[in-house]
Structure formats: structure tokens, C-alpha cells
A and B are shown apart, each in its own frame.
Chain A
Amino acid sequence: MYKLWMHARANIKKTKSVSATLVVMFLIAALLLNVGLLVAIRYGSFFGQLKEELAPADAYFALPQAVYTQQVQDYISQNEHVKKVQTNEALALGAEITQKGKKRSYTVLLQNMDEKREISKWKYVGEHRPATEMSVYVPDIFKAVGGYQLGDKMTLHYTDQTTGEKRQLTFTVQGYTEDIFFSSTDTGMMGFYLPQETYRQVADILQGPSYRMHLVHTRLDEVKSASAVEAGIRQTLGLDSSSLMAGDSDAMLIALDIELIELSRCMMATMIAAMMVLFALIIVVVCLLVVRFRIVNSIEDDLMKIGSLKAIGYTGRQIRLSLLIQYLLIAGLGSLLGIGASYGLLPSISMIFEQQSGLKWEQGFDVGISASALLVLLAVVVLVVVLATRRVNHLSPIRALRGESTVHKYRHNMLPLERAHGPLSVTLAGKSILQNIKQNIMVVMIMIAVTFAGAYGIIMYYNTAIDTKAFAEVPGMEITNVIAALNAKEDQSSTVAAIKDMEHVRLVQYLDEVKLEVDGTQVSSYVMGDYAGKQTRLVYEGRYPQKDGEIVLAGILADRIGKGVGDLVAVRWGDSEETFRVTGLSNGSSMGGLNTSIRTADMRRLNADFKPQILYIYLDTGTDSASFIERLNDTFDSQTLLSVTNFDKGLAEGMASYQNIVAAMGLAMLIITLAVVTLVLYFMISSSVIRQKRDLGVQKAIGFTTFQLMNQLSLTYVAPVAVGAAAGSLLGALYTNPMMSVAMRGVGIMKAGFLVDPLWVVAFGLGTVVFSYLLSLLTTWRIRKISAYALVTE
């Protein structure tokens, strides 16, 4: 055994650069595999552990002071679905907070940290300081993204709801917190925790009743009952016609259940983990193909050595074992380094997730997962080595010593020079390609795999960094510039007409959101007069409603209630029920994919009092929404215009974290792709130069220049690279959306429509080929060292 170990070590020493390349490839594969597995397996369970620790409610209902009536309290406490209730008082404040020099808008929920909580608890993250005057404990995301350090001043800029004056509240950040519901901008409100004294002080400043909020945390018989409870509250309050997006904050009910929260906060991690695991598997397959190539070549190269070993008494099994040891050492070293490096990378990945989810994921060394990743890699290496070395058993020592394995290797004279056209180097490269067809098929496969991943990466990057339209459509919102909530109690047709006539207004139309019940499931429903005017088309099958009694179901809802285009569904609002025909299925994660679209006329059949009040205002391209809003507020009074939302700003802020993550991921995939292409080509060409040293020497002797040989060898590899890159890019372009549809199905994107810019994909494919050619030339530059004289004298 010791001798076999010595042989393996000697072989590694002899082929240092090739072995080092393999180590790097295994390092990358193990790194991606371990990180992917850790995120896929541990991030989900991390959220589960956090739920156990913080005991979140199954659902919470945020009720403004004005609607937190005794009737509502009684309804909730006596509801058959509600098992436990905990009510906390809070102050809700729409404020702007400066983060790294930029002002961002938040709905801040100021809460008394000294209030006792049995459910929906919170905890400190990292170091915290004792409370002093005007202390605040803020979600950890303000540290991760906003860069707030302990002791920093944080100022909340807000408009006083009573006087309309601009005011500010300044706190000292004394610690960072984490809770399930209020730690991420994705889920609406950011929970700030204030010491009791400070809370009272702030409550005195924020005098208006509209600041007062009651958070009713509930334990339910099952999470799905949340929508029934919400519907009951609405009915109790008579919030009949109120749109979910109504500007009347005094009467706005917010309800969120734990499943929606979990979906929102783990979505990105789940997607990225899926991408990483898939990408890691591609890289692993590439590594194994390269290992197989290396083994087959090394058997050819070391044929005489194998013959001499057999001649002095080594068995085929022993020789194979020494090869196995050799590759296990390489794979083991690379994998261990990769697994080690993955733990170094995890904090950065955790930080990326934290920007979106607000959850600080701290993952220590996981023996189980890392050992599994290592074992999987080594097991596949064993399999590849065992299969690739089978022929060693059949080699007779004499034949091996004579190098007979290569005799009659070439049977067909491909591309005879007598008949071939074109430059000699190209023809010779062509001959070589055809003669090594098996090897080149492998190169093609490798390139298909890596360029597919690269094209996917570039498409994702394009959609998040260059043209973000399709990415912005993921949540399923109608994309506009400004949203105005009009007072529905008065006729607003003249207001709408006046807004439409304002400078830089391209289009105005009502689009409200109401709560309905579809085949017994609580859903939110978009209501619009005429869907022909909809600017963001989300229907992926069928069409938007055009006639009476037509409805579009979100894909997830359609799956859940088992309905498709052409089917009938029962739509209920309060006591009225109507039958609708499904005319289309739509994308969109709004309400976790439980949403529909109906026409205003149909909503009026369900509720004769329904009045549209949410006006979507579309501005000319390049118009500044903020200045437009100022003009709007100057033109109309607060009795007409209940509230105005800067959709552009909200969208940009909301999408920023997702865009950063996906763009970073896309870019990382692109870089890794190029790194793998570099390693594979370097590896194969280096091996090739070593193997063909004799032939290259002969060619030099008869008058080939170094550049001719470099070009010839480079073309030999660039041709399969080009075929692979073309196929991989094409597959990437064709299958990115279907793949994303599968990955994002859980968040309501049933048919992803990310933009695939042919120019970018073609540029990527061409870039890969040019890069490969230049890299090949660089790698074959070593040919200059091959001396024709050395060939004949050696």
C-alpha cells in the first residue's frame, strides 16, 4: 500500500500544474456545492428555529385607533378560529430615514420594548447597549444595509398628520433587533423598539389618533383561517367598499399571516440556493469530465510506465488503486479547501440575504452537510476513476512497453490535405478535431453546461441591472409612476379630468384592490374599468376580462382551487355571490399568489356601493415623480386627495435589494463560468501540449513557426468551444424563463417573462469564444519553448 501511495504522490509531483488545476476545479465545485446545500437545507430550518424562539403569531392584525372598537375586540376574542390573542400598542409613523446619504421611506412601528410578550417576541442581534434617553433598538437590516452603528443618531423625518408640518424625531441607536413580522421592508412595516420612558415621550409628541395602532397578534386553529378572521373584522367594521390601498389611514386594516411572511423572507434564499446547487452540479459534472479526460490521457502517456510496473509484478488492480489514490488526493484536497472556503464565503452570502429578509443567518460549521458534500464528490470521483481505468486490467506488459496502445489509433484520414481547402493551420486543426471526436464531444458538453449557466447569469444580470422592466413585474403589480387615493365619498370625475390634463401626464386610470372570496378562498382582487388600458400585462394564459362575469385568477390560486381558463367560479363579497367565468391566468406574488382581476362593473354587481378611488397616474418618460407629486398636492386639497404615493420611488427602493442580490448572483455565475472555461481550457491545452510535444517538435523542425502551431492548436479547441458556447447560449436563452418559472412558481410566477436580449446572449457567446481563443493562444505560448533540436537529441 505504501508503494502505491508513493506512486500516487510521484504522479502528482510529475504533473504539478495539471494537478493544481484539478485541485482548483474541485475547490470551486465543493465551495458551490457546500454553500448551496447549507443554504438550501439550513436557511429554511434557521427560519423554523427562529419561529420556535420568537413564537410568532399565526397572523397579526394592525388596527388603527379609530377602528379598534370594542366590537372588533369582541369579534376577535370570541372568534372560533382564534385560540390566543395578544394586543400591543404601537405608534405608526410614515417617515424618511437617511441611509448612507440617501433618504428612504419607511412605515415605522414604534413599540414599547418593555411590554411583556408571550407571542411575537423579539430579540437582540449582536451587541447592544443599555437604554438612555431617546434610545432606539432597530432591525438589524439598518446595520447591514443602512450602516448604522451603535451610538449613531437616527433621525425620522415625518409630516405631522394634524398640522401638516415637517418634523423630525432623533434617536440614539443602542442595539439591533430581530422579530418575525417587522424586520424586513418586504413585509410592510419596520418594528423599532423603544424603552418605556422613550416610548411615552414619543407618544406625547405624536399626539394625533392616526398614529395610534393596535397590533393584535393571534394564535389560530390554522394559519389559513387568518383570511376568514380578516374578512370578519372588515364586515364588523363595515369597511365594505374600502379599497385595500385606501388612503384613509384611520380606517386601514393590515393583516399578515406567518405563511406569507415566511414566503417573503425565505423566497430569495430558496431561489438562490436552487441556483447555487444547480450551478454546483454543473461544475461538479465538468470536473468529473475533466478527471476522466485526464485519466484516459495519463494512461496513454504512461503506457510504458504501466508496462514496466506490470513487468515487475504489479497487478492491474494495484495500478488502478494507485491512480485512485492519486485522484482521491487531488479531489480530497480541492474539496476540503473548497468546503473551508465556503465557510469564509457564508457571512457575505448571509449579508446578501439579510439585505432582503432582515434575518441575520449565522451558520456555523455543519459536519453533516459538509461531510456529505465531501463524500458525494469523492464517491463520484471513485466511480469515474474505476470506470476510466478499466483498460489497465487488459493491458499486457509487453504491449504496454511497446506503446502498442496507440498503434492503429488512426484509421481514417480525415480531411486529406490533397483535397482540403483553406489555410494549412485551419485544415490541420480540422483534422485534429475530427480525429479526437470523443474528446471534442466532451469539450462541447462542458461548454454547453458552463455557457448555459453563464447565459442564465447574464440574462439575470440584464434583467436586474440593465432593463429592469420584467423584474419589476415579478410581484404582479401594475407599474405606474404615482398613485393617488381620492376621496370616494364625493364625485371625483372633475378631479380625474384635471389630473389627466396636467402637464406630463400620459394616462390616468382607476385600479383598486378589494377582498373577495373565490370558491371559498379569501383573495385580494384587482378591480379595473377596462383592462385594455392596463400597462403591465400579467396574464400568461387566456386574456383579461372584457365582458360581464369574467375573472382572471392568479396561477397559484387557480392551482389551489383546481380551476382553469373556461371554468366557472363562485365569487362572494359579503352576502352577495355571483358566478364568474375564468378567462385567464396571471403571474404575480401579490397576497402570496391568491389574487384575481375583475372589472369594475362586476364589482358593482357584488357591491352596488363600490366606488373606485385609487387612481394610477402614468407620467411621460423622464418626468420626476417627486416634483409631480408636489404639483399635485399644491393643486388639490387633502379632502380630495387623501394620499399620494410615489410609486417610482417605492418600486426602486423595494426592488433594490432583490436587484442587488440577483445581479450579484448573475455576475458571480458569469465570473465562475469564465473561470471554469479558463481552467478547463488551460488544463486541456496544457495536457495537449505535453502529449503532442513530439509532433509539435517535428512540425517545428520541418518549418512551422511557433504562431502557426499556436494557432493550429488553439483552433482545435476553439471549434468545439464555439459549438458548445453556441448551443449553451441558445439553451440558456430558451430555457432561462422555463427554469425561472419552476423556481419562482412558489411565489406566483407561473410563466416567467424575463427579457432575453439576443444581442447580449450572442455577445456573451461570441465573447466566450473570443476569450477562449485568446486564452488558448496564451496557453499555447509555451510551444515556443519546444525545441525541434531537443526533440531529435532527446
Chain B
Amino acid sequence: MKNTVIKTERLCKYFGTGAQQQQVLKDLDIEIYQDDFTVIMGSSGAGKSTLLYALSGMDQPTSGQIHFFDTEIEQMDNDKLAIFRREHCGFVFQQMFLLDNMSILDNILAAGLLTGKDKRAIVTYAKELLGKVGLTEKIWRKFPAQLSGGENQRAAIVRALVNRPQVVFADEPTGALNSASGRAVLDVLTEVHQSGQSIIMVTHDLVSARRGNRILYIRDGVIGGVCELGKYVSGDRQRHDKLLSFLAEMGW
């Protein structure tokens, strides 16, 4: 029996007003489980990023409820959500969004030191994570503009992990990378997941989706289907075929 990390009830999200109003999420009831690498897929405009940011407290739903463990986050004001995010969530964005004026290590520590926990422990952990994702000390000292996209994205993953979040939210983490860099980033995410980290990732890329163990397909604001893939094993053909057939069924 899996533990539920996030559960939504009748989650709705509208954009615009009046005649221009558009419902992006329609009465969604979903559950995300602990230790899962959940992948949200869907066509463009289906509402996958909207769902991701609603689940993470980055955006507030129009109606419905979001339970993050025992906390209802949809009622929180912006500052409470900010504190909630720093303590429970990690984010990896397609555009990395590292702060240009800080070195890679400082980018990570800026997030880590926010929690007010022991500084030495945070620094040690940040360096350990950087080492794990293959970023050497020489690279930590550099600024984002001096690194490749892949290196920046790996740094962004470390930033997402530094506060030991309950869930890491990744929005198209390989979208801005070439295939080699993308693969390296996915390897990191897979390794992180396999070490017990819950991850929710939005992607429209099959190669990326294959890394997840549970696929939610969203279509026109509702869950079109769910596919349980099981643990990722490199080169597992059967798993790959299962995903392809699921996506074909969903009309991908």
C-alpha cells in the first residue's frame, strides 16, 4: 500500500474572464504517491504544467482542494505558500532559472539557507549533491553564464534537492537541452528517484517519460488515463512498449 503525498479533490482552474474564460483543469481528482516518479504527459495546452504548478503551490486553483500530506495548501496566502515551497518542494524548470549574479554553489545555498537550518550541514550536503551530479568544485565556483545548459540543469536539480523536499517538481527539465545533456539530466533524476525521492515531472518527450514509474495522461483538463510502468530499468523493451501502447491509446 503506497502512501499518498498529494491528493486533489474537484480541482478546477480557470483562466481569463467573461467570454474569454477558459477552464484548463476540470474537477480533477488525482493522487500522487510517495516514492513514485510520476510523469504528467499530454498534448500542448492540455493543462499539464497548470496541474504541476497547482500541485506544488506555485499557483492557486480556482476551486477544489489540494492535500499535501495533511496540509491543505489551496487556502494559503502567497507568503505561506512560499514558506511551504521552501520546506516541502523542489523545482526544476525547463529554463533552469538560476540566478545570473551568483555562482553555482551560491545558487544552491541561496535556496538551502532559506530554511534556517544548520549552515555547515547545508553546505556539506550541497557539495555532496553537486559531486553526485558530476559537478566539480571548479564548476561550483563559476557563474551560470559560464556553463553549458546541461551543467546548469544539473545544478538546478541540486538546488531542488538541497532542502530535502518531499516532492521534486520538474517542468520539461530536458526541453532546452541537447540529447546528450538531456540524457545526463534524466540519469540524475532517475538516480535521485531511486534513492527514495518522490518526483513529479511534466514532459511531452517519450524518452523522458520512460524514466517514470507512473504516467498520468491529461487531456483537455481531465485525466485521460494512468499507466503503471514499474521500476525503470535501462533497455527494458517491454516497459517501453507498454508506454507506447498506452500513449497510442491516449491518442498521443
A residues within 8 Å of B by Cβ?
406-411, 413, 416-418, 424, 428, 431-432, 435, 694-695, 697-707, 784, 787-789, 791-793
- Are A703 and B58 touching (Cβ within 8 A)? no
Instruction: Tell me if A418 and B105 are in contact (CB < 8 A).
Output: yes
Q: A408-B143, A701-B93, A703-B85 are in contact. List 13 more A-B contacts (CB 8 A).
A: A408-B146, A416-B103, A417-B106, A417-B113, A695-B99, A695-B100, A699-B99, A701-B85, A701-B91, A702-B114, A702-B159, A704-B82, A705-B83
Contact A702 B85, CB 8 Å, known A406-B100, A435-B101 = yes
How far is it, in angstroms, between the C-alpha of A410 and the C-alpha of B101 when the chains are bound? 6
A146 to B53, CA, bound (A): 73
Shortest CB–CB separation between residue A591 and chain B, in angstroms?
A: 66
* Chain A residues whose C-beta falls within 8 Å of the C-beta of B103 in the assembled complex: 413, 416
Given contacts A410-B143, A417-B109, A703-B114, contact A784 B78 (CB under 8 A): yes
Q: How far is the CA of A418 from the CA of B104 in the complex (A)?
A: 12
Chain A residue nearest to B103 (CB atoms) is A413
Closest 10 CB pairs of A and B: A703-B86, A789-B59, A417-B109, A413-B103, A698-B97, A705-B79, A702-B111, A705-B82, A417-B106, A703-B85
Over the window 133-173 of chain B, the binary record of Cβ atoms lying under 8 Å from chain A Cβ atoms (1 yes, 0 no) is 00000000101011000000000000100010000000100
**A-side contacts of B111, CB under 8 Å:** 702-703
> How distant is the Cα of A416 from the Cα of B108 in the complex, in angstroms?
11
How many residue pairs, one in A and one in B, have C-beta atoms under 8 Å apart? 99
Give the docked Cα–Cα distance between A698 and B141 (Å): 20
A40 CB, nearest partner CB in chain B, Å: 47
Q: Which residue of B lies closest to A792 (CB)?
A: B93
**CA–CA, A792 to B163, complex, Å?**
21
List A contacts of B93 (CB < 8 A).
701, 792
Q: Is the CB of A409 within 8 A of B79?
A: no
Q: Given the complex of chains A and B, what is the CA–CA distance between A408 and B79 in angstroms?
A: 33
Q: Whose C-beta in chain B lies nearest to the C-beta of A419?
A: B123
A784 to B83, CA, bound (A): 14
Chain A residues, Cβ within 8 Å of B102 = 413, 417, 431
B207 touches A (CB below 8 Å) = no
**Smallest CB–CB gap between B129 and chain A, Å?**
14
Closest B residue to A707 by beta carbon equals B79
18 inter-chain pairs at a CB distance below 8 angstroms, sorted by A residue, are A406-B100, A408-B145, A408-B146, A416-B106, A417-B113, A418-B105, A431-B101, A431-B102, A431-B106, A698-B99, A702-B85, A702-B111, A703-B111, A704-B82, A704-B86, A704-B114, A705-B83, A792-B93
**Is B27 part of the binding interface, using a Cβ–Cβ cutoff of 8 Å?**
no
Distance A406 CA – B145 CA, assembled complex (angstroms): 9
Partner of A706, one of B79, B99, B109, B163: B79
Q: Which residues of B contact A (CB under 8 A)?
A: 49, 53, 58-59, 78-79, 82-83, 85-87, 91, 93, 95, 97-103, 105-106, 109-111, 113-115, 123, 141, 143, 145-146, 159, 163, 171
Q: Which residue of A lies closest to B94 (CB)?
A: A792
A705-B114 Cα distance, complex, nearest whole Å:
10
| Most interface-central of B59, B83, B106, B123 (chain A CB within 10 A) | B106
Q: How far is the CA of A424 from the CA of B113 in the complex (A)?
A: 7
Please determine whether A789 and B58 come into contact, CB atoms closer than 8 angstroms. yes
Within the complex, what minimum Cβ distance (angstroms) separates A451 from chain B?
Answer: 29
Within 8 Å CB of A792, what residues of B?
49, 53, 58, 93, 95, 97, 171
| Distance from A43 Cβ to chain B, minimum over Cβ atoms (Å) | 53
> CA separation between A784 and B78, bound complex, in Å?
8
Chain A interface helix/strand/loop/mixed: helix
Checking A410, A417, A702, A793 against B49 with a beta-carbon cut-off of 8 angstroms, the contacting residue is A793
Given A406-B100, A424-B114, A703:B87 Cβ within 8 A: yes
* Interface pair A706/B78, CB less than 8 Å apart: yes
- CB pair B109 A418 closer than 8 Å: yes
Residue of A nearest to B97 (CB): A698
Which B residue's beta carbon lies closest to that of A695?
Answer: B99
Bound-complex Cα distance A412 to B226 (A): 49
A791 to B100 alpha-carbon distance, docked (Å): 15
CB pair B145 A407 closer than 8 Å: yes
Across the interface, do A413 and B53 meet the contact criterion of CB distance under 8 Å? no
Rounded to whole angstroms, the CA-CA distance of A699 and B86 in the bound complex is: 10
Q: With a CB–CB cut-off of 8 A, which chain B residues contact A413? A: 102-103, 106, 141, 143
Residues of A with C-beta under 8 A to B98: 698
Q: CA separation between A699 and B113, bound complex, in Å?
A: 12
* List of B residues within 8 angstroms of A791 by Cβ: 97
The docked-state distance in angstroms from the alpha carbon of A320 to that of B109 is: 41
A698–B160 alpha-carbon span in the complex (Å): 12
A77 to B53, CA, bound (A): 103
Closest to A436 in B: B101
Task: Point out the residues of chain B lying under 8 angstroms from A695, CB to CB.
Answer: 99-101
Bound Cα distance A707, B141 (Å): 29
A700-B102 Cα distance, complex, nearest whole Å: 16
Assuming the A-B contacts A417-B106, A784-B78, are A410 and B123 also in contact, with contact meaning beta carbons closer than 8 angstroms in the complex? no
Residue of A nearest to B109 (CB): A417
B53 pairs with A410, CB closer than 8 A: no
A702 to B169, CA, bound (A): 11
Residues of B contacting A408 in the complex (Cβ-Cβ under 8 angstroms): 143, 145-146
Question: Which residues of A sit under 8 angstroms from B171, Cβ to Cβ?
Answer: 792
Question: Do the beta carbons of B86 and A788 come within 8 Å of each other?
Answer: no
> In the complex, which residues of chain A have a beta carbon less than 8 angstroms from the beta carbon of B100?
406, 409-410, 695
Shortest distance between the CB of B109 and any CB in chain A (Å):
4
Bound Cα distance from A322 to B59, whole angstroms? 40
Shortest distance between the CB of A411 and any CB in chain B (Å):
8
B143: which A residues are within 8 A, CB to CB? Answer: 408, 410-411, 413
A704, B114: Cα distance in complex, Å: 7
Contact A700 B145 (CB under 8 A): no
In Å, the complex CA distance between A754 and B60 comes to 62
CA distance A704 to B82 in the complex (A): 6
- With contacts A406-B145, A791-B97 taken as known, whether A703 is within 8 angstroms of B106 at the C-beta atoms is no
Contact partners of B91 in chain A: CB under 8 A: 701-702
What residues of A have a CB within 8 angstroms of the CB of B141 in the complex? 413
Closest B residue, CB atoms, query A416: B106
Of all chain A residues, the one with the shortest Cβ separation from B142 is: A413
Q: For residue B44, give the distance in angstroms from its CB to the closest CB of chain A.
A: 13
Closest A residue to B96 by beta carbon equals A698
In the bound complex, what is the Cα–Cα distance between A351 and B242 (angstroms)? 92
Q: With A702-B91, A704-B82 as known contacts, state yes or no: A416 contacts B105, CB within 8 Å.
A: yes
How far, in angstroms, from A789 to B55 measured CA to CA in the complex? 12
- Asked if B109 and A701 make an inter-chain contact with CB atoms under 8 angstroms apart, the answer reads no
For the complex, what is the distance from the CA of A329 to the CA of B155, rounded to whole Å? Answer: 46
Alpha-carbon separation in the docked complex, A519 to B99 (Å): 77
Residues of chain A contacted by B163 (CB below 8 angstroms): 703
- A residues less than 8 Å from B53 (CB atoms): 789, 792-793
Centre residue among B97, B145, B171 by max chain A CB count within 10 A: B97
Q: Hey, which chain A residues are within 8 Å of B49, CB to CB?
A: 792-793
- A698–B95 CA distance with the chains assembled, in angstroms: 11
Q: Name the distance in Å between A723's Cβ and chain B's nearest Cβ.
A: 21
Question: Complex formed: what's the CA distance from A700 to B91 in Å?
Answer: 11
